[in-house]
Amino acid sequence: MRRNNPGRSMAIWNLGSINIDHVYRLESLPRPGETLASRSYSVGLGGKGANQSVAAARAGARTHHLGAMGAGDDWVLQRLNDSGIDMAHVARLPDEATGHAIILLEAQGENAIVIHPGANRAVDEGALLRTLSALGPDDTLLLQNETNGQVAAAQAAQARGARVVYSAAPFDLDAVRAVLPHVSILAMNAGESQQVLAGISGPLPVQGLLITRGAEGAEYRDLTTSQTYVQAAFRVTPVDTTGAGDTFAGYFSAALDEGRDIAVALRLAAAAAALKVTRPGAGDAIPTRAEVEAFLADQPI
Ligand code: RIB
């Protein structure tokens, strides 16, 4: 059970991947056996974890990132620091490459992604658990499926009464099954939610399901009250949907951390994700809270 403790300030802790995104723009995604020349190439900040940390920090949450990178690529660390994220718990591993992603982006903004986990799957679990011993019931732990240590971290955070938000991406039913008993909120897109509901029988042992449906909006199912909250998507013209789900999860978690109710958290997260898809890139394209508030001020209630 979470409670507010006036002596401690709440924070978001995120065991998450840090990737360098290599983005290739194409007219359409290649079919098997096809070779296509890209229209453009860019390099940016990514990783589902890093994107969620950027979103949470830009939403205004005190955010600590937990994870690992290779020994070089200092610009990545610097950029995450500049977003206001505490990077003191990110290890530099000389024998591992910083995680990276090859992102193919077609004309309508949809993508196909290949990741190389590198250091993201070499996080020292002992060090992780020592860090997580600082968590309290007012804190939130974010997790996605791009690092090792998910179950141990979720277990440790749950034991300290913290809220655990798990994003089931990239989707792996076995990974979901393993971590689920220690999760408070399971975040998924529509396709992932169908696979979870088809693959896991019986009631899910979590407090809530956050389901994002892209242009069809999002919903939160509170499994403790059976209430469902629905949020329509804001209409925008997408140029790049990469990181939209991460932006949603990071903003939603930051809003709950701030004490907002579900409806407010959903609206804020939907607006942040809508703004993100109007911009190219992943972590670099996540809007600030001021940008999100200005966008919302122009929308009908
Ligand atoms: O969710 C988008 C992210 O997935 C990209 O930034 C890429 O790095 C992969 O992890």
What ligand 1 atom has the least distance to the C-alpha of 242?
2
Exposed, middle or buried: residue 191 (CB in 10 Å: 0-12, 13-18, 19+)? exposed
Q: How far is the CA of 59 from the centre of ligand 1 (A)?
A: 19
What ligand 1 atom has the least distance to the C-alpha of 17?
10
User: Three-state SS for 258?
Assistant: coil
| Residue owning the nearest CA to atom 10 of ligand 1 | 47
For the stretch 55-100, pLDDT in tens is: 999 999 999 999 999 999 999 999 999 999 999 999 999 999 999 9
65 and 7 Cβ atoms separated by less than 8 Å: no
For the stretch 99-149, pLDDT in tens is: 999 999 999 888 999 999 999 999 999 999 999 999 999 999 999 999 999
Q: For residue 297, give both structure tokens.
A: 């001020």
22 and 41 Cβ atoms separated by less than 8 Å: yes
Type and span of the H or E element at 241? none
Separation in Å, CA 46 to CA 19, 30, 49, 100: 5, 22, 8, 8
pLDDT, position 218: 98
Q: Over the chain, what is the mean pLDDT?
A: 95
Interatomic CA distance for residues 183 and 204, integer angstroms: 10
Q: For residue 1, give both structure tokens.
A: 């059970």
pTM flag (> 0.85): yes
Among 139, 246, 257, 284, the one annotated catalytic: 246
Query: Does the structure show a pLDDT above 70 at 37?
Result: yes
Residue 82 a catalytic site member:
no
Percent of the chain with pLDDT over 70: 97
Domains in the chain, CATH or no CATH each: 12-19+46-99+118-297 (3.40.1190.20)
